[in-house]
Chain A
């Protein structure tokens, strides 16, 4: 079984400030971890993924995340927020092995960027 906890359902940052979105996971198997972004009334877009290679993963739009096994965390960061980063962000963990891995999603974090 696997689960994801995203700390903070709403995060506000000023434009140009550091973005930090927190994600903690639990998994009974070595996890694959994902961050997705969702803009209003749109589907989810993959930002980045961890699949047991490098622990620091770089994604699109300047985002990156670091896998820390000891802390069971996969926090998402961006050095400088842009207005266009305002969206909802979902962390997800991949569960069972096999041909159809299941994704378990966190409840999401709504990011607001203040001018």
Chain B
């Protein structure tokens, strides 16, 4: 069966520091991968998606970036965090472009 992992689970970072969040999927090949952000009291905002290694599409211009160095690995990064980057970050995967399955999430607090 397929599983999706995210780490770290929780992160507290100062403003201006770098960020690296990792997502990995097991049990499937060539998945579509997604990064979402969920701000407090708000819905989910799609940040990036990827249909293959090295292929990244950005949905929202911001100071975040994403990379896919391996088939089942998706990384969300920032060179300098802003207060507004605080939130709950969710990774998801899908195959055949249909249902998306979500990871457990990373809670990021920028101080």
Contacts and interface: CB of A to CB of B under 8 A. Distances in A.
B43 A101 contact: no
A36 to B, nearest CB: 8
Interface residues of A, number: 24
Interface string B34-63: 000000001110100101000001010000
Contacts of B105: 41-43
Contacts of B46: 102-103
Given A107-B43, A108-B43, A101 B104 contact: no
A99 B51 contact: yes
Interface of A: 32, 34, 36, 41-46, 49, 51, 90, 94, 97-103, 105-108
Interface of B: 6, 32, 42-44, 46, 49, 51, 57, 59, 88, 90, 92, 94, 96-105, 107
